[in-house]
Amino acid sequence: MTIDAQSQIGLPADASCARYGTPARLLHWAVAVLVLATWPLGLMIGYAKKDVVSTFYLLHESLGFLVLWLMLIRVGNKLTSKSPPLDGSAIERFAASAVHGLLYAVLIIMPVSGFLATNAHGFPLNWFGLVEVWSPIGKSPDIAWTLSAIHEWSAWTLLCLFVLHIGAVLFHHTIKRDKTLYRIL
């Protein structure tokens, strides 16, 4: 990327480095924004007034279903696109690979378990109030609470992974002062 192109998108002149492709970067940030909206919505459902709980559920479930599809596209993109090489020590490269792999897994497990849990509780997904999504399991009270527990545990796992991910970003950007952050910008 030329220095002119970097400055046009707000990167400093010394930020030249191998970057992820445009689809990977767009998908990364789209999922990040959706998760930062969806996760708090899910947490707040238990505290919302009864007259808005159904709206919270609708938004949480619809955004979560969108996260699932974007993550499936991300997996496809990751399998078909070349990623820039990882920098750092062997332990840093291992940690980065492990956290990224776990983020991908949890960002698929969480919306799948949430979707199946709401179906098992007897509430099919009506995506943004526009389209009713086919229920693969229907009302299944025997497994509803197990699926709900998986969804909740994956949400807390996601929070821990998010903290690790942001901690690594801050470490690389402020302490090591390397160009890791610029790979995804």
Full set of structural domains in the chain with CATH: 20-183 (1.20.950)
As a whole number, the mean pLDDT across the chain is 92
Is pLDDT of 16 > 80?
no
Residue with tokens 């279903």: 65
How far apart CA 100 and CA 62 sit, in angstroms, is 24
Q: What is the pLDDT of residues 23-64, one digit of tens each?
A: 999 999 999 999 999 999 999 999 999 999 999 999 999 999
What's the average model confidence in pLDDT over 4-8? 48
What's the average model confidence in pLDDT over 160-175? 96
The 8-class DSSP code of residue 180 comes to T
pLDDT of residue 4: 45
Which three-class secondary structure string do you get for 42-63? Answer: HHHHHHCCHHHHHHHHHHHHHH
For residue 36, the surrounding DSSP H or E stretch is: helix 22-44
CB atoms near residue 159 (< 10 Å): 14
